Amino acid sequence: MVQTVIECGKVSLIKKQETLCGDSSHIVREKDRLTAVLSDGLGSGVKANILSTLTSTILATLLSHKLPVEECVYTVASTLPMCKERKLAYSTFTAVQIEGDVAHLVQYDNPMAILLRRGKNKKYSSSRTFVENKEVYESTIYLEEGDMLILMSDGMTSAGLGKTNTSGWSRDEIAELAERLYEPDMAPQRMAALLVDAALSLCLEENDDDTSAMVLAVRGRKAANVMVGPPENRDEDNKILRLFFAKEGRHIVCGGTTAATVSKYLGKPSVLLSDTATEEVPAISRMEGTDLVTEGVITLQQLVKFAESYLENPMLSLELSRRQDGVAALARYLFEEATDITIYFGRAVNEAHQGLDIEFGEKLKAVEALEKILSRMGKSVKVSMC
């Protein structure tokens, strides 16, 4: 595959009346390889959380070191603490390791992973082996751009059991919904959130088991370029902006003074869209030649705040489709569309803010925090000072 990247989205909902989730996931990213494990611990609550956390962490770490599957499973089985009540140390798992265009899938007692290719459910072959009396299925899949792998715990397939249906939500039914939801270039986080939200609806908003979906997507690289503040040296405005607009991808402008500088360079007016303002987020503007123009410091600070919540509660992905403010627009571009992000941070002092509480340092602090969060999301991020 050329110019593609593996992105991952995941959602876990805790069983009603529990405080900890019995499902856990762990991802190890390396230069040319990604290893991801979704595990479901026996029962629910604290015990299940311990079992699944140990399983996902140990298994992902061992697989990332290229150890044989048999050795990895044996190590996990002999490491898990025994449940005193059930006399079992039990945790299911689905593990996938992707290197280049090859995915190696290892599945034990979770619902079988779904492969979407060109938006359609595609069958793949599996071989069955027994490791420590565990029936393990292994598959090798040659991936293509646009492929999605959907991993899930049995909270998905038991959704609605005894409430809205008599036999749960079958894997085939989940695959059918995924086909209907699929869109080219769809963010894996959006797919995971939509599937789990559907499961929650089947449970009448009270899930009777921990419910998780992890989606890995092979995506073509998409760039976003963000200009925050005009260049320090005004004589270099045109030079920097030529570089900025020569870059492929989205072109996003943050800040009123920055927008004025870009407007002058492009010879296009910046038109305020007043109906996009909220109590917390200033209005965005429209300018021909750009994809998005937002206010500066306040919007960036609100974006960082939202990003932190988004990492803690990935279901917030669903909120992005409903909101039209500057923070939501930035989040859609940066969190769910772009894979490679360049932030041009202009070091010019904003004269409009002199004497006010809004400081140059606050803007820099917001950009630094955003860079860290985007990196945690698996994005390739570069901050260029100008």
Q: Average pLDDT over the chain, rounded to whole?
A: 92
> Residue 59: enclosing H or E segment and its boundaries?
helix 45-64
pLDDT at 332 over 80: yes
pLDDT at 32 over 50: yes
Does domain 4-220 fall under CATH 3.60.40.10? My reply is yes
Task: Give the span between the Cα atoms of 117 and 114, in whole angstroms.
Answer: 10
Mean pLDDT of 108-124: 97
pLDDT at 328 over 90: yes
**171-192: pLDDT as tens digits:** 999 999 999 999 998 999 999 9
Amino acid at 156: M
pLDDT at 85 over 70: no
Prediction pTM value: 0.92
Mean pLDDT of 210-220: 96
pLDDT at 354 over 60: no
Task: Give the span between the Cα atoms of 176 and 173, in whole angstroms.
Answer: 5
Is residue 39 within 8 Å of 91, Cβ to Cβ? Answer: yes
Task: Give the span between the Cα atoms of 126 and 304, in whole angstroms.
Answer: 43
Structure tokens, 240:
């920097």
Residue 3 has a pLDDT of: 82
Mean pLDDT of 206-228: 96
Mean pLDDT of 277-281: 94
Quickly list DSSP for 121-135: E-----EEEEETTEE
Kindly report which listed range (129-143, 249-263, 321-335, 348-362) carries the lowest average pLDDT score. Answer: 348-362
pLDDT at 357 over 90: no
Positive/negative CA dihedral, 190, 192, 193, 199: positive
pLDDT at 89 over 80: no
Quickly list DSSP for 178-211: HHHH--TT--HHHHHHHHHHHHHHHTTT--SS-E
Residue 134 has a pLDDT of: 86
Q: Where are the domains of the chain?
A: 4-220, 223-385
Residue 245 has a pLDDT of: 96
Kindly report which listed range (38-42, 214-218, 270-274, 347-351) carries the lowest average pLDDT score. Answer: 347-351
Mean pLDDT of 249-270: 95
pLDDT at 1 over 90: no
Task: Give the span between the Cα atoms of 203 and 193, in whole angstroms.
Answer: 15
Task: Give the span between the Cα atoms of 201 and 100, in whole angstroms.
Answer: 37
Task: Give the span between the Cα atoms of 89 and 243, in whole angstroms.
Answer: 58
Residue 365 has a pLDDT of: 94
Mean pLDDT of 318-324: 91
